[in-house]
A and B are shown apart, each in its own frame.
Chain A
Amino acid sequence: MVEMRRAHTRDAYGRALVELGRRNPNVVVLDADLSTSTKTAMFGKEFPERFFNVGITEQNMMSIAAGLATCGKTVFVSTFAVFATGRAFNQVRQSIAYTNLNVKIVATHGGISVGEDGASHHSIEDIALMRVLPNMTVVVPADAIETEQVIFAVAEKPGPVYVRLCRPPTPLIYEEGYKFRGQPLKYELGKAVLLEEGSDVTILATGILVYEALEAAALLRKKGISAEVVNVHTIKPLDEELVEKSARKTGAVVTAEDHSIIGGLGGAVAEFLCETYPVPMARVGVRDVFCDSGPWEELLAYYGLTASGIADAAQKVISSRGVVR
């Protein structure tokens, strides 16, 4: 196996913000005493006038962001995912989503890959919470390279967006300049990326599980199973066209995410397919439990959010379909 390249999605965010700040004087950034972790401090250092660290007041921060947005600002607001979506849920709902204001909530430390800090800091429900809000777009980049694309894309998109990043340095699936296996791609919000074509099963993955999905496809290939791998970076709006097309093609779907199996990518796909083209389906994710503290990669393995977890789910879902082609 070639050496794995890794990078922090939040570093990519920090760099992209600085670049955005240079391009657009209307970009302002808020943080709630986590700026050195979320990397908004990089923006704060270059643009102190446009950076507001409001202390540990996440609820207040969300409504301030809304007020700034009413005055024509493109507002980026950052804290950890569990606080952005859980602690300040009603503020996001009332002040940002209901008003359809131009606020980009970029939360770091999503999922259980937060690791040792434990369940108080694991964010296993943030995608579900944001996805249920009208007007809200929900994006989970697969790696640091895609993160850069996402940040520039959401800055151009009017209205509220939730972007979920993570804590650890995670494997890169793309190459510099947003290429996949040498092929240049064009990033588009709402358009999932078909990474590998296959015919026996569709693996729809998001965030850091996209890498695991690609590994799972390699494992399955050794067993003679052809898996289609799709990076669903935008969970809302879901790329229904691609999801349905792939489900029709393979007749079996596995979703994979660093999130609860309830309400996230798995929930979104299940809701959609059961109304359009029901196929046997399995959801890989946190199975409705609060997880333990631990090193992040061990945690993912312990809770089955891995290539082998995905491959097992794929085989199960294929057998429940009854036909292995």
Chain B
Amino acid sequence: MPIINNKHEPHTEELVKRLEKLAKKFRREILIMTTKAGSGHPGGSLSAIDVITAIYFHQLRHDPSNPKWEDRDRFVLSKGHACPALYAVLSELGYFPKDEIHNLRRIGSILQGHPDMVKTPGVEMSTGSLGQGLSAAIGMALAAKLDRKDYRVYVMLGDGEINEGQVWEAAMVAAKYKLDNLIAILDRNRYQLDGYTEDFLPLEPLAEKWRSFGWHVMEMDGHNMKEILDTLDEAEKVRGKPVMIIAHTIKGKGVSFMENENKYHGKALTPEELEKALKELEDPEDDEPRG
């Protein structure tokens, strides 16, 4: 596969449909691979998948046949537990064979329980211990400035994740260096492991917080593909500041009995639940994949 550089494609209905269809397929794969593994984090993978799909298939300039291409745009999944979403996308793009998703979390697999940049082609940073991906992305963005390269660095954080103090250390440093080649997306699905974010460590007013830390803040519906594409494009126009896009999302999005049902934060579906979920995610034009 040659270099992928699609971001100048107009945001037509056709493009939106194509990305939505892909995201639906990835939702099936996320559930299939986590159920097969018997563990994992499907809820936060489903909330993140629309944005990750848009980023990889439309926004990033990258080359799956050359994952270490120096001039590539980077995507860091700071909320590493959502890696089933990343694995579905990377395998679709050919970073590794699709079949690997069936080995998720198994001994010897290239697909670890949390992202591992050494084992998995296309993974930019090993994450999983929360709060570190934004700092790593800052390092990549600083390197771009030093090397006078025009690549961008995208990083996705979870809303629970920003409880971590390191995130706010990083927020100050990104603003200090005016990293306008850094675009962060906050997957605001409103739940963390123990429940509703505002019940444990209130985050609001979220946009004001990031603004006061010197970031350009945008908000979008993280499940509206057209809005995602438009917002990502707008974010690229910001100069002199890092950008934080708050993506309002739904944990477990796409499966009725998983939506806002936090027990699926870190628990795979049973085979029976999976069957039900796959029915809801069926694509009439598409007869694969099945578990």
* Interface residue ranges, A against B (CB under 8 Å): 28, 49-50, 52, 54-55, 57, 59-73, 90-91, 93-95, 98-100
A-B contact pairs, 13 of them (CB 8 A): A28-B146, A59-B166, A64-B170, A66-B125, A67-B136, A67-B141, A70-B139, A71-B70, A71-B143, A91-B132, A95-B126, A98-B118, A99-B126
Chain A residues with Cβ below 8 Å from B176 are 54-55
A99 vs B143: C-alpha distance when bound (angstroms): 18
A54 vs B133: C-alpha distance when bound (angstroms): 16
Q: Is B100's beta carbon under 8 Å from chain A?
A: no
Q: Is B128's beta carbon under 8 Å from chain A?
A: yes
Chain B residues with Cβ below 8 Å from A70 are 117, 124-125, 136, 139-140, 143
A67 interface neighbour in B70, B140, B166, Cβ under 8 Å: B140
A57 vs B146: C-alpha distance when bound (angstroms): 21
Chain A residues with Cβ below 8 Å from B85 are none
User: Judging by beta carbons under 8 Å apart, are A99 and B139 in contact?
Assistant: no
What sequence of 0s and 1s flags, for each residue 134-155 of chain B, a beta carbon within 8 Å of any chain A beta carbon? 1111111111101100000000
B128 interface neighbour in A59, A60, A94, A100, Cβ under 8 Å: A94
A245 vs B175: C-alpha distance when bound (angstroms): 56
B170 nearest CB neighbor, chain A only: A60
User: Judging by beta carbons under 8 Å apart, are A67 and B143 in contact?
Assistant: yes
A73 vs B141: C-alpha distance when bound (angstroms): 12
Which 10 A-B pairs have CB atoms at the shortest separation, nearest pair first?
A67-B139, A63-B135, A71-B143, A57-B169, A60-B169, A67-B136, A68-B139, A64-B139, A94-B129, A63-B132
B164 nearest CB neighbor, chain A only: A59
Chain A residues with Cβ below 8 Å from B132 are 59, 63, 91, 94-95
Chain B residues with Cβ below 8 Å from A93 are 129
Chain A residues with Cβ below 8 Å from B141 are 67
Chain B residues with Cβ below 8 Å from A50 are 146
What sequence of 0s and 1s flags, for each residue 92-123 of chain B, a beta carbon within 8 Å of any chain A beta carbon? 00000000000000000000000011100000
Q: A63-B166, A67-B136, A99-B118 are in contact. List 8 more A-B contacts (CB 8 A).
A: A59-B166, A67-B135, A67-B137, A68-B143, A71-B140, A94-B132, A95-B135, A99-B117
Closest-CB distance, B182 to chain A (whole angstroms) = 10
Q: Is B172's beta carbon under 8 Å from chain A?
A: yes
Chain B residues with Cβ below 8 Å from A67 are 76, 125, 135-143
B117 nearest CB neighbor, chain A only: A99
Closest-CB distance, B62 to chain A (whole angstroms) = 14
A61 nearest CB neighbor, chain B only: B135
User: Judging by beta carbons under 8 Å apart, are B139 and A63 in contact?
Assistant: yes
B173 interface neighbour in A55, A66, A71, A99, Cβ under 8 Å: A55
Closest-CB distance, B91 to chain A (whole angstroms) = 21
